[in-house]
Amino acid sequence: MSTVSVHGVGTSHFGRQPERDLVALAWDAVREAFADADVTGVDAVWVGTVFGPPGVAQRVLRAMGVTGIPVITVENACASGTTAFLEAHEAVRTGRYGRVLALGIEQMSTAFAGAITPEPTDPEGRSGLALPALYAMAAARYLYDGAVTPAQLAAVSVKNHAHALHNPRAQYAGHHTVEEVLGSRMIADPLTLLQCCPTSDGAAAAVLAPASGGSREVGVRAVALRSGAPWNHRSPHVWGHDVVRDTAAEAFAAAGLDAVSDLDVAEVHDAFTIGEIVTTEALGLVAPGEGGKAAESGVTALGGTRPVNPSGGLLSRGHPLGATGLAQLAEIVWQLRGEAGRRQVDGARLGLVETMGGGVSVLDGNACVVAVLEAP
Amino acid sequence: MGGVSAPGGPDPRPQVSPGADGGGVVDGRRCRSCDEVSAFAWPACPACGGAVDPASFGPFGTVWSATVVRIPVPGRPPPYRLAYVDLDDGPRVLAHVVTDPTADRVLPAPVGGRVRLLPTTDDGDLLVEVVPA
């Protein structure tokens, strides 16, 4: 068994890029990751994608000469990229392969004009439950319970759009006010347009290999994955809370984390504003019911005591589904190396990645991945 | 709320049978082992994998949460009202909510309010109406 490090990361730009194909997007990410790791090849590849057509992994990899080795494609909704990372990590840890590439790719702009079309073979998808509506249900319940205010929901969007001002790869960035966020077009009550992630194209990649003590290697302390259990009237929590909590508990135990407060920086799944609030509570980064207040008061902002989504998150960096988990990972690697520029969390030593996949009715998420990473 | 384009294959949504006074009941399942309830005729309990028996739920329930979808979804002109409804002694189901055609603006069903399950829409969606308090 080996201790595993991330030796290199890379990403494309994130945004609507219908004129670029997945070969070009993946090349941006892989070329940068290989250069970052100072390698020219790997022994195996795990690829995460949700809407990529059959054969898409081999199609993009052969265009860059990554051929003749095992290539495995995984799909776990929005957590597909981090699922590829988890599998790549396990392959290196157990010695199955020496050096492995985890790659996430997604092109959304050519597939959907707006929100993802609800999946018609799923009962709730067939009923018209677009993903913004699923998160809107959580937000409406939080409002009913008095666990958040509309201004606190909006504060997540304000914060993450401001973070992205310092991320040149981000799809959107801006100085928004709470009033602007709440006044933007209603998508699914109570979530307005600026509380929803955009339609994004992009790719992100990481090279994993046994730790060798290199000065730029970011250690993988632990990574865990769970799929959801039934979510229903018996749960006191909103959709997604319990699977995040349970996956995090497994990852934190495996990482030997003394306290969640030891984490210096986190990239979490803020596909919608309420998602970041629920997730920061489920992870234990903030106390139950304090997620909204933490966003409003600056606790989870850059410069706060619990900085969350310094990259701009899914809300602003963008959310190309299969690429998202590895984009989150790349941000944490840069943060832990001190390479994050003007969005750097000073002295970050321990970082967290959390990705949440949805879209399977009755389940509390179809996959959640939590990873804990450590500075060189 | 009509106009859903009909995708191929069996309908995955819960099946609803006529109940008393024009209401509807969900033809679901109850687990013999753990008593979990489900709105679906699936072969095993989604919580424990145990054997299940047919069970009916509804028509009355309480709104756990609700929203109005205001973006276009293929085959579904917005706005439309959705709610998660905890059927009394039964499962949580996703249902459409009857819209008052005289209302100025379509608003979500009140969370915590009482609703009654009706027969499905022509498109096969579960449908509830708000019960006056």
Which of A141, A145, A189, A227 is best to mutate for the B interface (most B CBs within 10 A)? A189
Can you tell me whether residue A35 is helix, strand or coil? helix
| Helix and strand totals (H; E) in chain A | 12, 11
Domain presence at residue B3: no
SS3 A272: strand
At residue B3, the pLDDT reads: 43
- Per the CB < 8 A criterion, the answer to whether A167 and A134 are in contact is no
The residues pairing with B31 across neighbouring beta strands, listed in sequence order, are B52
* pLDDT 10s digits, B56-111: 999 999 999 999 999 999 999 999 999 999 999 999 999 999 998 888 899 999 99
CA A131, CA A116: separation in Å to the nearest integer?
7
Residue B4: its pLDDT value, please?
A: 47
Which two tokens mark B99?
A: 């819209």
Residue-level pLDDT at B100: 82
**Which residue ranges form the domains of chain A, and what is each CATH number?**
4-112+197-374 (3.40.47.10)
Full 3-state SS string of A59-121: HHHHCCCCCCCCEEEECECECHHHHHHHHHHHHHHCCCCCCEEEEEEEECCCCCCCCCCCCCC
Q: Which of residues 90-119 of B touch A (CB under 8 A)?
A: 91-92, 94-96, 107-108, 111-112
Residue B1 has pLDDT above 50, yes or no: no
Query: Closest Cα of chain A to B20: distance in Å?
Result: 24
Inter-chain CB proximity A128 and B9 less than 8 Å? no
Write down the pLDDT at residue B7.
Answer: 64
Specify if B4 maps to a domain.
no
According to the model, what pLDDT value does residue B6 have? 58
* Average pLDDT estimate for A45-66: 97
Alpha-carbon separation of residue A75 from A153, A205, A237, A357 (angstroms): 30, 16, 26, 10
Band of pLDDT at residue A229, cut at 50, 70 and 90: very high
Q: How confident is the prediction for chain B on average, in pLDDT? A: 93
Other beta carbons within 10 angstroms of residue B106's beta carbon come to: 16
Q: What's the structural domain count of chain B?
A: 1
Cross-chain Cβ contact B71/A188 below 8 Å: yes
CB contact under 8 Å between B9 and A232, yes or no, is no
Containing structural domain, residue B48: 16-130
pLDDT per residue as tens digits for the range A230-283: 999 989 999 999 999 999 999 999 999 989 999 999 999 999 999 999 999 999
pLDDT band for position A347 (cuts 50, 70, 90)? very high
Among A177, A133, A186, A143, residue whose Cα is nearest residue A157: A177
> For residues B4 and A299, which has the higher predicted lDDT (pLDDT)?
A299
Cα distance from A359 to chain B (closest Cα, Å)? 13
ipTM, two decimals, is 0.96
Find the CATH number of the domain harbouring B92.
2.40.50.840
The helix/strand/coil state of A162 is helix
- Domain presence at residue B45: yes
